[in-house]
Structure 1
Amino acid sequence: MVLYIVIIVLAVAALLASSSMRVIKQYERGLVFRWGRVREAIRGPGITLIAPIADKLQKVSMQVVTMPVPGQEAITRDNVTVRVDAVMYFKVIDPEQAIINVEDYRFAVGQVAQSSLRSIIGKSDLDDLLSNREKLNQGLELMIDTPALDWGIHIDRVEIKDVALPESMKRSMSRQAEAERDRRARIISADGEFQASQKLSDAARVMSDTPAALQLRLLETVVAVAAEKNSTLVLPFPVELLRFLEHARGTPESVKPVEAPAPQRNDDAE
């Protein structure tokens, strides 16, 4: 009989010990409630003991939580309807506030993120959403982090993932980009022609002062044309070349041009 009583006592003790032992993982913290009130400070990782009936242990994860923010459709400041989605990274820094001050801190942070995203879309232009996302991310993080601090939550980072535009707006932006590229191409072409005309004007001015330069340029052109292996080559022989040779070493008598006789007046016809 005594043996049975001892076995029963040991079984009850083992049952009570197993029900009072809790294991808290390395990335968790435990908050103990005794009769509905916080009993003591946060318990760290390891094995912890609680009263089987009076105490209740609630664990809180201290890991960084990655929460996608559902796409929000809103109108920008320049009256363009867009749909924007984002992603948010946050973690619990005060488990007691995260459990006591808010019913479900994950749901609360998600709702604040959605409303803040819609608010920042309405305050921004379309160009800012497409090209200035870093500044918008910082503003969005500040808007979410302000109420989250009272819940023991710290927002690590918020990033805008995608900005969905209507098809009509995409076509308009495509036409605008094409027109902008065409404008730049025309400006570059016109600027190139202007610079080329300036260089040609300077070259013509130098050649007019130095006739020999014009002859050298002519010979270079002849060499370039002859390199194409054409069957017929027409070579103009300008008078300036004779003048250049005349100034260089004098004109012999045999190659001097013959002056045409002056026309005689016919007195008989009068």
Structure 2
Amino acid sequence: MNDIKILSFLLLGFLLFLFLSTFIKILKEYERGVVFMLGRFWRVKGPGLVILIPFVQVMTRIELRTMVMDVPTQDVISKDNISTRVNAVVYFKVVDPQRAVIQVANFIDATGQLAQTTLRSVLGEHELDEMLSQREELNSRLRKILDEQTDCWGIKVTQVEIKDIDIDESMRRAIAKQAEAERDRRAKVIHADGELQAAEKLRQASEILSLSPSAIQLRYLDTLNNIAGDKSSTIVFPLPMDILNKLTGTEVK
């Protein structure tokens, strides 16, 4: 008999606990509760202890911490008709629990679907080179668009990051060849520019030397000195007539 009473008390206590847990809630610091009374919005409560009126009030628990969502890989056709596969990550949080519950059925799924369509539409407006070189600008634009569109749901998109941009192997080889051709072009341009500068310096030097015959003679003698220092056994060189005239003291025609 005593055993039956004990079991009855335990069962009653368990049922009472279940009943109280249904209408007594404890919300953490980063949680809020959207309370409805008889189907109508009443107020946002929390954090701490929240007591609901049995059978009259119900509560939806909302988390305010920043959430991280991986956007699945999307097939994107760039503006220059190159097929790419792009994925991203979105950081967002609830700033208005009331709108996050009332304005959209599931704000997490809705934000994810919106992020996928926005990623495809925005990247499709750019060429592949822009996707690879202007990632920061694209991240900023994606964040701004998502933030504006989710504002009516009480959602704040804080950051969007494009993680990977994958292309076919054949396209990678084509891009590598293009980069190699660009490097060769730059090398030729630099070489040609160097030749042009050298020719200009030589022209300026010849103009300066033409104004001073003695400078030409000194340059000639310096060249002879350099040739004499070579290991060649035989040296043949022209002798300017003006130098010969000065050496012999006569005029040679």
Using structure 1 for the length normalisation, give the TM-score.
Answer: 0.75
Deviations 1:118-139 (A, max 9, x none): 1223322223222233333333
Q: Report the CA distance between 1:258 and its aligned residue.
A: 11
Aligned residues of 1:69 and 1:114 also touching (Cα < 8 A): yes
Aligned residues of 2:36 and 2:43 also touching (Cα < 8 A): no
Q: Name the CA distance, whole Å, in 2 between partners of 1:133 and 1:258.
A: 78
Q: Report the CA distance between 1:75 and its aligned residue.
A: 1.5
Pair 1:183–1:258, CA change in 2 (3 A):
closer
Task: Give percent identity, aligned residues only.
Answer: 40
Tell me if 1:45 matches 2:47. yes
Q: Name the CA distance, whole Å, in 2 between partners of 1:158 and 1:142.
A: 9
Within 5 Å, give how 1:104-183 maps onto structure 2.
104-183=106-185
| Corresponding letter in the other structure for 1:26 | E
Q: Name the CA distance, whole Å, in 2 between partners of 1:182 and 1:126.
A: 22
SS in 1 for 2:104: coil
Return the match for 2:84 from 56, 64, 82.
Answer: 82
SS in 2 for 1:77: coil
SS in 2 for 1:42: strand
Q: Name the CA distance, whole Å, in 2 between partners of 1:103 and 1:238.
A: 100
Within 5 Å, give how 1:181-200 maps onto structure 2.
181-200=183-202
2:30 matched residue in structure 1: 27
SS in 2 for 1:90: strand
Q: Report the CA distance between 1:83 and its aligned residue.
A: 1.1
Q: Report the CA distance between 1:78 and its aligned residue.
A: 2.0
Pair 1:175–1:258, CA change in 2 (3 A):
closer
Q: Name the CA distance, whole Å, in 1 between partners of 2:54 and 2:234.
A: 112
Aligned residues of 1:226 and 1:233 also touching (Cα < 8 A): no
| Corresponding letter in the other structure for 1:24 | L
Deviations 1:30-73 (A, max 9, x none): 122344433x3211212222234443332111111111111110
1:69 matched residue in structure 2: 71
Deviations 1:79-114 (A, max 9, x none): 111111111111111111111222211011101111
| Corresponding letter in the other structure for 2:216 | L
Q: Name the CA distance, whole Å, in 1 between partners of 2:39 and 2:113.
A: 28
| Corresponding letter in the other structure for 1:238 | L
SS in 1 for 2:149: helix
Aligned residues of 2:142 and 2:160 also touching (Cα < 8 A): yes
Structure of larger gyration radius: 1
1:263 matched residue in structure 2: none
Q: Name the CA distance, whole Å, in 2 between partners of 1:67 and 1:225.
A: 76
Deviation larger for 188-197 or 52-61 = 52-61
| Corresponding letter in the other structure for 1:176 | Q
Q: Name the CA distance, whole Å, in 1 between partners of 2:127 and 2:141.
A: 14
Aligned residues of 1:72 and 1:85 also touching (Cα < 8 A): yes
Q: Name the CA distance, whole Å, in 1 between partners of 2:229 and 2:215.
A: 21
Deviations 1:155-195 (A, max 9, x none): 22222222211222222222122112211211221121122
Q: Name the CA distance, whole Å, in 1 between partners of 2:158 and 2:39.
A: 32
Deviation larger for 176-185 or 123-132 = 123-132
Q: Name the CA distance, whole Å, in 2 between partners of 1:90 and 1:212.
A: 81
Using structure 2 for the length normalisation, give the TM-score.
Answer: 0.79
Q: Name the CA distance, whole Å, in 1 between partners of 2:223 and 2:62.
A: 86
